[in-house]
């Protein structure tokens, strides 16, 4: 993280602007219990959208529905998404995915939002067994999809458990979406992964079916594999960096580490040369 404040996130984003790299912003915090806090979060993102435009930053917000009051009033959360998408257009507003208990409701809200706002995107998780069907379900809407592996602890009947299984399904889903593009099904694809082997395999498949490596974006976290971010950008990939910030960083980070022990190993590796 560049810091806890919006200002720190915007300063970091300006550095990427100078490099020709776009960014995603996420203000940390989720599962709020008071609607007034959700309203403040929405106001925060509205200000962020305005500041991003004023500073000429290629930046897009990525929202967690529970931070917009989804657990308390789903209609109110949907109204916040509507307001943010309206203000951000034509820039994309992303709806982040949370635990599997929220998946169906999140996909449903995305469907409703996408019918009104072309600039709304959704994050899907490759380790969920339902994601293949969710992609097919969303294709008629010309979706904007960011595909991640998934960070929550999920039951075996819901999610693939082993790394090889998750990686295989990730690549399978990427191939299916690139094939959809090749068949002229309008679709934006963002690869939310630090796995450069998967990125290379995606690029290989794109080339094999007549698409360029710009058929998808590569999206990595701020401060993670910075050398690879630069390399990929220099090789002609569209690279976007996700900048997380906010006072809620500690519970967010610790919960991620506790839920999936593999994240601990990954985090430690980033400290090594």
- Long-range contacts (CB closer than 8 Å, 24 or more residues apart) made by 237-242: 237/199, 237/203, 237/213, 238/22, 238/214, 239/21, 239/22, 240/21, 240/22, 240/23, 240/24, 240/60, 240/190, 241/16, 241/21, 241/22, 241/23, 241/24, 242/23, 242/24, 242/25, 242/26, 242/62, 242/192
Mean pLDDT of 13-19: 89
Residue 132 placed within a domain: yes
Q: Is residue 150 part of a domain?
A: yes
What is the pLDDT at residue 221?
A: 92
Is residue 269 situated within a structural domain? no
pTM, 2 dp: 0.90
Q: What is the pLDDT of residue 54?
A: 95
Give tens-digit pLDDT for 178-235: 999 999 999 999 999 999 999 999 999 999 999 999 999 999 999 888 899 999 999 9
**Domain assignment of residue 154, given as a range:** 6-248
Q: What dihedral do alpha carbons 269, 270, 271, 273 form, nearest 10°?
A: 90
Per-residue pLDDT at 45? 97
Residue 65 host element (H or E): none
Check 17, 54, 115, 146 and give the catalytic one. Answer: 146
- Total domains present in the chain: 1
Give the CATH number for residue 113. Answer: 3.20.20.220
**Is 96 labeled as catalytic in the residue annotation?**
yes
Specify whether the CB–CB gap between 190 and 217 falls below 8 A: yes
Structural domain contains residue 266: no
Residue-wise pLDDT for 240-268, tens only, equals 999 999 876 666 566 556 555 555 565 55
Considering 34, 40, 87, 96, which one is annotated as catalytic? Answer: 96
Q: pLDDT by residue (tens digit) across 54-111?
A: 999 999 999 999 999 999 999 999 999 999 999 999 999 999 999 999 999 999 999 9
The reply to whether 29 falls in a domain is yes
Residue 273 belongs to some domain of the structure: no
Does 259 map to a domain? no
Is 68 a member of any domain?
Answer: yes
**Each residue's pLDDT tens digit, 39-51:** 999 999 999 999 9
């Amino acid at each position: 993280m560049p810091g806890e404040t919006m200002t720190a996130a915007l300063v970091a984003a300006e550095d990427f602007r100078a490099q020709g790299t776009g960014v995603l912003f996420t203000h940390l915090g989720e599962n709020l219990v008071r609607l007034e806090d959700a309203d403040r979060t929405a106001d925060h993102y509205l200000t962020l959208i305005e500041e991003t435009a004023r500073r000429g930053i290629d930046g897009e917000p990525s929202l967690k529905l529970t931070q917009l009051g989804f657990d308390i009033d789903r209609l109110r959360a949907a109204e916040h998404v509507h307001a943010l998408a309206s203000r951000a257009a034509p820039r994309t507003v992303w709806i982040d995915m949370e635990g599997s208990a929220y998946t169906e409701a999140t996909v449903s809200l995305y469907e409703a939002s996408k019918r009104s706002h072309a600039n709304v995107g959704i994050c899907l998780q490759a380790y969920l067994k339902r994601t293949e069907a969710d992609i097919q379900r969303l294709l008629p809407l010309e979706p904007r999809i960011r595909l991640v592996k998934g960070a929550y602890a999920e039951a075996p009947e819901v999610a693939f458990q082993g790394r090889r299984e998750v990686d295989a399904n990730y690549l399978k889903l990427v191939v299916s979406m690139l094939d959809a593009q090749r068949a002229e099904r309008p679709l934006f694809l963002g690869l939310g992964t630090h796995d450069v082997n998967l990125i290379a395999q995606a690029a290989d498949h794109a080339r094999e079916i007549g698409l360029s490596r710009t058929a998808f974006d590569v999206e990595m976290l701020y401060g993670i594999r910075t050398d690879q971010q630069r390399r990929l950008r220099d090789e002609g990939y569209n690279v976007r960096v996700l900048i997380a910030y906010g006072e809620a960083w500690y519970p967010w980070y610790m919960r991620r580490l506790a839920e999936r022990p593999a994240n601990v190993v990954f985090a430690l590796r980033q400290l090594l040369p």
